[in-house]
Structure 1
Amino acid sequence: MRALSALPLDDDIVDRVMTFCPSFSCLQATILVSKAFYRVFQTHPKAITRAVAYNIVGPGLPQALRVLRYPPYNGPDADAIEMAEACREEHGASVITAEEKQKLRENAEIVGKLEDIYSLTTKDRTSKRSVLTSEESWRFRRAAYRIMLYCSVFPGNRYEFDEIEALDDQQIEKIRGQRTAMLNRYQTDELLELFSVVKFIQGILSSVVDDDQSNMVDILLSTGPEGAVLAWEERSYDALEMDLLGDGLLHDDEDNKLFAGYFTLTFENIWTRRNLKPPKEEDPASKWVLDEVIGANDTCSQCAAPGGLQLLTSANWDRFPVSPTACLKNKLKSNASIIGPFAQATAHLANLPSHSLFLGIHNAVNQAALGAWITEIFDVRRAPGFEVADGWDVGASYCAACLSRFLEEHVWVWFLEERVKSTCLCVSASMLTVPAAGWVPPEDCWYGYNCNTQTHKAAHQTGKNHLCVPTRGSA
């Protein structure tokens, strides 16, 4: 029905307009448009606010709200069943406070980033943004928020190492019973979805620890989706240790008795209770969440090696475990007069946290910059046999070996061009900054990047240009 006001819209249309607001700030601005909008909002404040919350969070809103509203933890002696049933997932309209709105936005951003990573690594390697269907996204987000709740009730920063050591075996078993009860309330199909997302998060965390540090993964899992996103973005667990974990938890060589089997023991207990066959170790993280995996059987565009989601594309080659210096051609890697300037030219790629162990790379590169740099290398494409006509296209998919081969053939050409065209600012007599000329290469060495002498004779390193194709054999 149209209100008795100057606004030429029915109240139900005004109501509908507000439910489409993409954020709470947009809703607030819409409410202030006119008294008519304000009056309609006051008629249905809970329903309209919840609709906007769904726009922000998605269909996982009941799970997201439970994360915020779950009561404080009362310790090992709290009743496990009461904990499992506390603050059930609410599907009806309710008042959402200003503090809850802020936290919903923050958690939705974390879960959204995690879904993008999940999509890139398990659904479609060619898109940085999630391409999950609405049904797949709902399964993923519902599981992610339930994991977030579990990790907020049993977080890694509740206790410091000395406090954990003081817990007796009976207290540890009670806490494990509470964890089991928390997850046991979910239906089996939902629990399997949660299991898949946990496995995905485990994969992220395993990638930032060394092989002999596998006992740390259970502790890192306690940081939940937020920790997984930080670990992915930083390729390190530094930020987790500083902000999300208790003091000393990661500095014990033995399994931490409180966190050992943080999720695995809980799942095992539930499979046993329900007399279910546990999921197979080799089951992918896409199982029970995705209906379809795109490009699972794809092969390298150059050598036809199978790779599927592990193939490298412009969307994911910022994850390529490569050191820029290692891409220099042949003996150039050992030319001291080249290594210094090359390090300066690639300084924007540097990112060296103390625990950068992603895929064995101790000197990690800046993730955001690496992808753009490889794209820039593709713009060079000068070596014979590496033309677009030969299939070397920026939009194609490559195995690690082929992409490494491409980079080795072209990084030195890119560096030569960068070095020649580079300018610096110097101060003139008139106090004006003027560009100085770029590097002028000396005479080419006959043996170019294959030259052996460049590796040990300083005068030859600087007296000849080795950023060139050999015209003779090696020397």
Structure 2
Amino acid sequence: MHFFIVLLYITASFFSYTLAKDHDVAVGDNAALSFNPSSLTDVENGDTVTFHFISGNHTLTQSTFDEPCKYKEGGVDSGYQDVQNVGGGSRLHYTITVNDASTPLWFFCAQTAHCTRGMVFAVNPTTDKPFSEFQATAKGITPGSEENPAYTPTVNSTDSAVINSGATSAVMSMTRSWLALGLAVVNLLLPLMMRHLSSFPLDDDLIQLVLCHLPDFSSLRSATLSCQAIYRVWRAYPVQIEYAVAANAVGCALPQALRLARYELSTDGGNADDAYPENDGPVRMTSREVNFMTTMSENVRQLEDIFSRRHKCRRLSTSQLTYDESRRFRQGVYRILVFCRLYGVNDRLHRELSEDWDDEAVDEAREQRYMFLKQYSTVALHEIHMVAQFLQQLYHSLNEVSDPDIGVTMDEFGEFALACGPLAYLKCYQDHSLDAFTEYGECIDEFPTHNWDMFAGYLRNPLKRIMDARKAVLKDDDWTVILDSVPDDAQATCDKCHAVKGFDLYDESNYDNLWISAAMDKTALPGAFKGNLRRHNTEGALIAHYFFSSRFSYAEFLQEMFAYSSPLPPAQKEQQSTSSGSMSLEEWADALDDDAGNLNSTPAAPPSTSTAGSTELSRASTAGPWDGITTSNALCADCIKAFVVEFLPQWWVDRRRRGGAAIPDEKCWYGWNCRTMTHKPLHANKLNHFCKPSRGEGA
């Protein structure tokens, strides 16, 4: 039974292989502006057409019969196949599969003036829509005129003959008799089995497809070294396969990444703005270019992760952008990188930082920036502008938590920062500091003051000049330039103060991002302790060490803090009211306010709410403004700060006692306002100062 199943499978595979044919078309043969043959007829469903680009720089671009030289939206487009840049005697190939042979297909070369000179191609033209009329329309000649005599399409007669012969023999062998079929199977079985035993059991086009979907060049190398059949396919189509793998490894902005790589790796001083155009099709790449793009793509991916968290989904640390959103963002990043490579802070500019630039030099630099950006479409310029806005947002956020010593206004320095390029922003973000920008400008102290004019309006001014000429408007907050739509989270409100904070809200999913907020900068948290507690003679240093430590975790800290916002369950409340150790620090401090006893006597200390080594947090048992707020609530940084300020003293005492510290139960009258605890260790260690004052302003 299994033998006959295998037999039928092999027979079906043979017939499908026989009936599906590949047709070869030469593009630019003998340096002519032509496809040879110029059209194919009798192409069947499943057939493939392989275009071999012989010379020049041509495209295979799909059009329509009525508009031969206009790209059909959503149609085939090979991109420019620049043979002269391939090198090594290799040729470029491009293959299409015909899925609906009943519908004619029309193509042209999109290179300037090639189509109007008759460089067009057709698959299965009909008598109603002949190739001669299609070509005449492309040339702008009236069909049937003397300038356009009757034309007989050139047909790949050899391929057609093979197709017809294979189809006829297949049908005849299937219809004559079962005996004839059996004989045919026997005749086919042995060579096919030998083929499957001696070579890779996949056709070349399937192998090529698999290779084109490999994720990186390590996988490609492993695959090509594993089997001669795979290696042979790679050697036949190296440019297409390597370009496809590069697109998988680098991402959806490969043409822009390749342009940057060629500028960065150029050895001939190629600084002209048109030295390395963006190529939208398979082109040969060097191993150095591939390695550079692979490394750079990781940096761009990290920038995209940050952008996604600040403008798409704050709860997830990895990019949630769609393919198109990612493409727009990455295109903008790579184009700014190229712009900064040519006209930003680089090695050449470093050597000139201390020179005195005159007005003529500044004007020349501004004109060069303008001319470079002018080459891009309006859509591309909008993408560049919004990526620059995102980078400037990072700069202003970093400015709130960093204090660089630069000697100029932050607005002036912001323009200089943009000239340093996107990677400088990434490093600053990762380091939580603006130091990377000052490293880029090593000679910034020697920089003549008026030379800052070189960076004034570094990117914005040329963009505005171009867009004004095109009657387009630059909007600083139009994130739909990058995103398909504005997420609902952009208008989200704080669960506590109900103010619209958008992506500047925090919960347990993104506490790690709180460092970007000045209100919750960890270096400022010791100052959130009430009164003089941060200056406590013994505890002050421990407080600073906890928050300044590289091991400090916002998530761990706030998980502990928000335990104080939840009221105790009824059973624990009842136990608390009857137990000697039930009163919290805050409740006891409040009780002191009502104490009418002798003010000169030390109040009796309450029983400890948390003994040394205890793992329980003491929590208020009465209702308060923070009851019910948990780590799942989305809060703004200011509300989180207000909560932290309220419960910091109580949290610190509990934390220290859980660690085994002997925090005294007896409390100082002046509580956290006591000044004596800041300079007298004996007093600081004898009494508990992490409590509300019961009298005076402190002594």
User: Do they superpose with TM above 0.5?
Assistant: yes
Aligned residue for 1:432?
A: none
Question: 5 Å matches for 1:402-417?
Answer: 402-417=639-654
User: How many Å separate the matches in 2 of 1:304 and 1:155?
Assistant: 43
User: How many Å separate the matches in 1 of 2:531 and 2:218?
Assistant: 57
CA gap 1:343/1:24 in 2 versus in 1, 3 angstroms: same
2:528 is equivalent to residue 327 of structure 1: yes
Aligned residue for 1:258?
A: 454
User: How many Å separate the matches in 2 of 1:201 and 1:95?
Assistant: 33
Q: Percent identity?
A: 29
2:208–2:241 CA contact under 8 A, matched in 1: yes
Structure holding more strand per residue = 2
Aligned with 1:441 (options 663, 666, 685): 663
Aligned with 2:537 (options 336, 348, 354): 336
Aligned with 2:416 (options 214, 219, 241): 219
User: How many Å separate the matches in 1 of 2:246 and 2:624?
Assistant: 50
Give the TM-score, by structure 2 length: 0.56
**23-32 vs 221-230, which deviates more?**
23-32
User: How many Å separate the matches in 1 of 2:630 and 2:636?
Assistant: 14
Please state whether the residue corresponding to 1:394 is helix, strand or coil. Answer: coil
Aligned with 2:685 (options 446, 462, 468): 462
Aligned residue for 2:235?
A: 42
Question: 5 Å matches for 1:66-465?
Answer: 66-70=259-263, 83-157=272-346, 158-160=348-350, 162=352, 165-209=355-399, 212-242=409-439, 244-245=440-441, 247-248=443-444, 253-254=449-450, 256-274=452-470, 276-280=471-475, 283-284=476-477, 286-290=479-483, 291-313=485-507, 314-315=509-510, 316-321=513-518, 322=521, 323-349=524-550, 369-371=553-555, 373-375=557-559, 377-378=561-562, 383-384=619-620, 390-422=627-659, 438-445=660-667, 450=672, 452=674, 454-455=677-678, 457-465=680-688
Cα-to-partner distance string for 1:328-374 (whole Å, 9 max, x where unaligned): 34442232221112223334249xxxxxxxxxxxxxxx8xx445544
Cα-to-partner distance string for 1:63-112 (whole Å, 9 max, x where unaligned): 1101112357969xx8xxxx443321111112222211111112111111
1:383–1:410 CA contact under 8 A, matched in 2: no
User: How many Å separate the matches in 2 of 1:451 and 1:249?
Assistant: 44
User: How many Å separate the matches in 2 of 1:55 and 1:386?
Assistant: 57
1:448–1:465 CA contact under 8 A, matched in 2: no
1:215–1:254 CA contact under 8 A, matched in 2: no
Q: CA deviation at 1:230?
A: 1.2
Equivalent position amino acid for 1:109 in 2: E
User: How many Å separate the matches in 1 of 2:505 and 2:441?
Assistant: 34
CA gap 1:253/1:416 in 2 versus in 1, 3 angstroms: farther
Equivalent position amino acid for 1:458 in 2: P
1:383–1:409 CA contact under 8 A, matched in 2: no
CA gap 1:237/1:402 in 2 versus in 1, 3 angstroms: closer
Please state whether the residue corresponding to 1:309 is helix, strand or coil. Answer: coil
CA gap 1:250/1:293 in 2 versus in 1, 3 angstroms: farther
CA gap 1:339/1:153 in 2 versus in 1, 3 angstroms: same
Cα-to-partner distance string for 1:374-422 (whole Å, 9 max, x where unaligned): 4454466554479999442223211222101222244444433443444
Give the TM-score, by structure 1 length: 0.80
**131-140 vs 251-260, which deviates more?**
251-260
Cα-to-partner distance string for 1:176-198 (whole Å, 9 max, x where unaligned): 22211111111112211111111
User: How many Å separate the matches in 1 of 2:464 and 2:260?
Assistant: 24
Please state whether the residue corresponding to 1:160 is helix, strand or coil. Answer: helix
Please state whether the residue corresponding to 2:444 is helix, strand or coil. Answer: coil
User: How many Å separate the matches in 2 of 1:128 and 1:186?
Assistant: 32
CA gap 1:256/1:470 in 2 versus in 1, 3 angstroms: closer
Q: Return the index of the structure with the highest Cα Rg.
A: 2
CA gap 1:27/1:444 in 2 versus in 1, 3 angstroms: farther
2:490–2:503 CA contact under 8 A, matched in 1: yes
2:494–2:501 CA contact under 8 A, matched in 1: yes
User: How many Å separate the matches in 1 of 2:392 and 2:205?
Assistant: 47
Equivalent position amino acid for 1:338 in 2: E
Aligned residue for 2:257?
A: 64
Aligned residue for 2:210?
A: 17
1:205–1:221 CA contact under 8 A, matched in 2: no
CA gap 1:257/1:401 in 2 versus in 1, 3 angstroms: closer
Aligned residue for 1:431?
A: none
Aligned residue for 1:435?
A: none
Q: What is the number of residues matched between the two proteins? A: 432
Which structure would you say has the larger RCO, counting Cα contacts within 8 Å and 6 or more residues apart? Answer: 1
2:357–2:451 CA contact under 8 A, matched in 1: no
CA gap 1:466/1:277 in 2 versus in 1, 3 angstroms: same
User: How many Å separate the matches in 1 of 2:477 and 2:427?
Assistant: 22
CA gap 1:447/1:28 in 2 versus in 1, 3 angstroms: farther
1:125–1:309 CA contact under 8 A, matched in 2: yes
Equivalent position amino acid for 2:339 in 1: Y
Q: CA deviation at 1:447?
A: 5.2
Q: CA deviation at 1:250?
A: 8.0
Cα-to-partner distance string for 1:282-326 (whole Å, 9 max, x where unaligned): x31624222223412111112212211222334232323222202
Please state whether the residue corresponding to 2:493 is helix, strand or coil. Answer: coil
Cα-to-partner distance string for 1:132-190 (whole Å, 9 max, x where unaligned): 22221111111111111101111312223755634443333222222111111111122
User: How many Å separate the matches in 2 of 1:74 and 1:262?
Assistant: 23
Please state whether the residue corresponding to 1:181 is helix, strand or coil. Answer: helix
1:176–1:266 CA contact under 8 A, matched in 2: yes
Please state whether the residue corresponding to 1:15 is helix, strand or coil. Answer: helix
CA gap 1:37/1:374 in 2 versus in 1, 3 angstroms: farther
CA gap 1:69/1:162 in 2 versus in 1, 3 angstroms: closer
User: How many Å separate the matches in 2 of 1:223 and 1:266?
Assistant: 17
Q: CA deviation at 1:47?
A: 1.6
Please state whether the residue corresponding to 1:165 is helix, strand or coil. Answer: coil
CA gap 1:139/1:454 in 2 versus in 1, 3 angstroms: same
Q: CA deviation at 1:19?
A: 2.5
CA gap 1:19/1:320 in 2 versus in 1, 3 angstroms: same
User: How many Å separate the matches in 2 of 1:263 and 1:343?
Assistant: 42
2:672–2:693 CA contact under 8 A, matched in 1: no
CA gap 1:376/1:14 in 2 versus in 1, 3 angstroms: farther
